[in-house]
Amino acid sequence: MKNLVENFPNQLKEALEIAAKSKISAGKNIQNVLITGLGGSGIGGTIVSEMAGRHSKIPVTVSKDYFIPSFVNEHTLVIVSSYSGNTEETLNAMQLAIDKKAQIACVTSGGKVKEIAEKNGYDLIVIPGGNPPRSCLGYSLVQLLHILDAKQILNFNYRNQVEEAYGLMVSKKGEIEKEAKMYAEKLHKKIPVIYCLGATEGVAVRFRQQINENSKMLCWHHVIPEMNHNELVGWTEKNDELAVCILRTTFDYERNLKRLDINKTVISKFTSTVFEIMGQGSTPLVQALYLIHLTDWVSCYIADIKNIDPVEVKIIDFLKSELGK
């Protein structure tokens, strides 16, 4: 897994090349967008939908289920994201979207999604296969951005920003890995509690998922300011088994920063481990990609400390086997 994490910057660069060669139709009177996908295939949609909130004049939402919202119709662009192309829930959602005559675009490495897309002439971008879906976020995220850009739903140059992220990760490789090792030591033998500010929840979800899968640990995440209306009340008992990691960017809203200061004052009374991880880069997208890369490393270094295989997901294989019966 560490080799795959190390290759993330190159994956972004390769993803831009794949996007440049793809042919995406213009779309017809698109009034809303739904991205459907789960797990490692779905997290890109979560992050892209947050970015679209800043740059799109129409709603871009995400579905991680067998079903799709009732608003989906012929004016909806449904982007199907399934790395394997055989994700049970996504295939069901895809068929429902087809039944509603939605405009379909697909991002996959193959499987049934590719077959259906080719048979029906849907927009299709094929990405390299053969790796764990969570290790191929760079491929899927860039293609989602490309599809939205090609259909004139985004109003920013995502290519320049992805290239900036690539350059930043390459130039700061040693610094990123050194930081990641330090944070891994802080989280080892703890229950990680991941907090973020405002519209960066996708990055927090990604970090949580990577700790679940790569580090084989339970953890949870929440968002400021929402957690100030509920979870903050739960901090009432001393518990040094909890480690609070706060994901930050230089674009965090000033009122949320004030909230963060107060939150840290409260939380520090109940756990001794509270620290921040700061993004780098000139835009929210660049900083999100930087944080994803850094925290992916953290999850791998925790696995190293625990001397476990970060790649294996036998329990998910068991689940799929049982469902297959």
Concatenating the DSSP letter of every residue in 34-77 gives: EEE--HHHHHHHHHHHHHHHHH-SS-EEEE-SS---TT-STTEE
Q: Which amino acid appears at position 237 of this protein?
A: E
CB 37 within 8 A of CB 80: yes
24 three-class SS:
coil
CB 292 within 8 A of CB 137: yes
For the beta sheet containing 273-278, the strands, ordered from the edge strand earlier in sequence to the opposite edge, are 220-224, 191-197, 242-248, 273-278
Give Cβ neighbours of residue 237 (< 8 Å, ≥ 6 apart).
Answer: 270
CB 77 within 8 A of CB 34: yes
- 229 given a catalytic annotation: yes
Cα gap 203→104, rounded to integer Å: 26
For the beta sheet containing 60-63, the strands, ordered from the edge strand earlier in sequence to the opposite edge, are 60-63, 32-36, 76-82, 103-108, 123-126
Could you say which of 101, 238, 258, 320 is catalytic?
Answer: 320
Give Cβ neighbours of residue 211 (< 8 Å, ≥ 6 apart).
Answer: 187, 192, 217, 219, 298, 299, 302
219 CB-contact burial (10 Å; exposed 0-12 / middle 13-18 / buried 19+): buried
Could you say which of 89, 177, 201, 213 is catalytic?
Answer: 213
- 55 given a catalytic annotation: no
Could you say which of 229, 237, 254, 322 is catalytic?
Answer: 229
- 213 given a catalytic annotation: yes
Cα gap 13→180, rounded to integer Å: 22
* Residue of 207, 162, 181, 145 whose CA lies nearest to 11: 162
Q: Which amino acid appears at position 121 of this protein?
A: G
* Active site positions, annotated: 213, 229, 320
